[in-house]
Amino acid sequence: MYLLSEVIRKRFGIHRGIESPYALPNSLDAIKSAISLNPIFVEFDVILDNGFIKTAHPPQEPLDNLKDVLRVFKESYTFPKIDLKLKENSYTILIDKVIDLVKTTNEFTLINLSGIKIRDKMMQAEIYFASKIRDNPNIRLNLDLARYRRPRQKIDEIIQNHVKELKNTVYSISLEINEENWDAIFKFANKHGIKKCFFWLRGWPDVPNPKVKVKTILKALNLEKKYNIEIYFDINLNYIKGLKMNHYFYSPDSN
């Protein structure tokens, strides 16, 4: 049996930081507030804006420099989980600039790629990214199959071969908690030696009022032993009824 408070303390990151009247989601201030609560990770989105690397989730206006955001993670308990919002005609520029910045931190960083709608182009971007990080264990790739397949659609041979080509750069896999066929994804992860999974919830700007049930969270955790995969949640706690985010995170030195 899982205690929900323990699940949240140890398995939940903070999605796009902690929003307030003074801190927009994905902003430096929102991310600082999130890190102060010592979650295992903080997720945020990054875009290329006139040659500069900024935080933001399109159609959000560009916010803060990634270089400044990465500084606040230094020597913290928390690692950054960055979602790069790519464009087909400029994805190599964003990938190169982000990798160069992350390398200077010498801290573990998990990166997810999104934004490109055409499957072949998305796969090309992931292969390019993998070629740039293969010898750097501090930078790893999170694989989100929803970027090039519809939920519950069969994982075809093209995807299987693609993941083989990415080799050991894939740290984790992610899936939308309300949409995907969980067992199919976990079998796929086992086949390719992927040991960690992040569940996410479709939200703004696609879904105006996203929700997930507590029983769904606990049901997802039950797959951990069955498939020998560590499960984490990249889901804003405000989308779980009856929870207050600051009641659950803690100092890693506390009992």
pLDDT tens track for 74-131: 989 999 999 999 999 999 999 999 999 999 998 999 999 999 999 999 999 999 999 9
25 found inside a domain:
yes
pLDDT tens digits, residue range 164-205? 999 899 999 999 999 999 999 999 999 999 999 999 998 777
In whole angstroms, how far apart are CA 143 and each of 10, 75, 168, 230? 21, 26, 12, 15
188 found inside a domain:
yes
Domain with 167 in it:
4-247
Contact 252, 77 (CB under 8 A): yes
CATH number at residue 77: 3.20.20.190
252 found inside a domain:
no
Contact 38, 14 (CB under 8 A): no
Model confidence band, residue 151 (pLDDT cutoffs 50, 70, 90):
confident
pLDDT tens digits, residue range 32-56? 999 999 999 999 999 999 999 999 9
254 found inside a domain:
no
Residues near 90 by beta carbon (within 8 Å), at least 6 away in sequence: 48
pLDDT tens digits, residue range 217-239? 989 999 998 999 999 999 988 88
Any long-range contacts for 204-209 (C-beta under 8 Å, 24+ apart)? 204/57, 205/57, 205/59
Q: Say if residue 255's pLDDT is above 50.
A: no
Q: Domains in the chain: how many in total?
A: 1
182 found inside a domain:
yes
253 found inside a domain:
no
226 found inside a domain:
yes
Q: Look up residue 5 and give its two tokens.
A: 């408070």
Minimum mean pLDDT range among 92-101, 133-142, 211-220: 211-220
Whether the ω angle into residue 25 lies within 30 degrees of 0, i.e. cis, is no
Q: What's the CA gap between 117 and 109, in Å, rounded?
A: 24
In whole angstroms, how far apart are CA 3 and each of 10, 37, 251? 11, 19, 18
Q: Say if residue 242's pLDDT is above 90.
A: no
92 found inside a domain:
yes
Q: What's the CA gap between 139 and 144, in Å, rounded?
A: 16
